[in-house]
Amino acid sequence: MADHIFRLLLANLDRRVKPPLFVTGEVGAGKTEFCRGIVARTKEAGLNPGGIVSPRIVQDGETIGYRVVDVRTGEQKTFARLTPPGISVGKYYIPPGVLEWTKEVISDSLDGTDVVFLDEVGRLELRGKGLDSAVRSALESRTQLVLLVRSEFLSAVKDDYGIEEFHLHRVG
């Protein structure tokens, strides 16, 4: 299935309007790992991917947080952890400053990249917080976007951001 998605992204690069690709699934379904594979394929093909992926931080088999990784540079920061300080989201806390850094990475990716990955659009963004402003800027750009969204938020994300034309890939 990754081949199909990769070919779809390649085909969209020549389009003036590039419908976003949603990669969706449940928590732990493999959305991030799937996209990391697509990022690697784009780099192997000589394309320039940007944006962010957010792999889990696992300790003793349990998720204790998430990292955010700049797709272009590989630079990473802790995005969510079980302990404060930070913005509370479910059982996690987003450390001070990391949202601003992540928004900057996304913004910098909108020029000069072929595909921009946003992992993930969810609860905070639907409340107009978190990465909402970066997601809106990305949707207004002419960049091919890959948006990772949990299945439970997919309809709300499409409605909230006014996304009518899109491609969909379910993981898991």
CATH code for the domain of 128 = 3.40.50.300
Is there a domain that residue 74 lies in? Answer: no
Is there a domain that residue 40 lies in? Answer: yes
Domain extent, residue 110, equals: 2-52+100-170
pLDDT at 2 exceeding the cut of 90: no
Our count of domains for the chain comes to 1
Is there a domain that residue 71 lies in? Answer: no
Is there a domain that residue 68 lies in? Answer: no
pLDDT of 13: 78
Is there a domain that residue 152 lies in? Answer: yes
**What angle, 0 to 180 degrees and rounded to 10, lies between the N-to-C axes of helices 98-109 and 132-140?**
0
Is there a domain that residue 77 lies in? Answer: no
Is there a domain that residue 75 lies in? Answer: no
Is there a domain that residue 128 lies in? Answer: yes
Question: What pLDDT, in 10s, does the model give residues 19-67?
Answer: 999 999 999 999 999 999 999 999 999 999 999 999 999 999 999 999 9
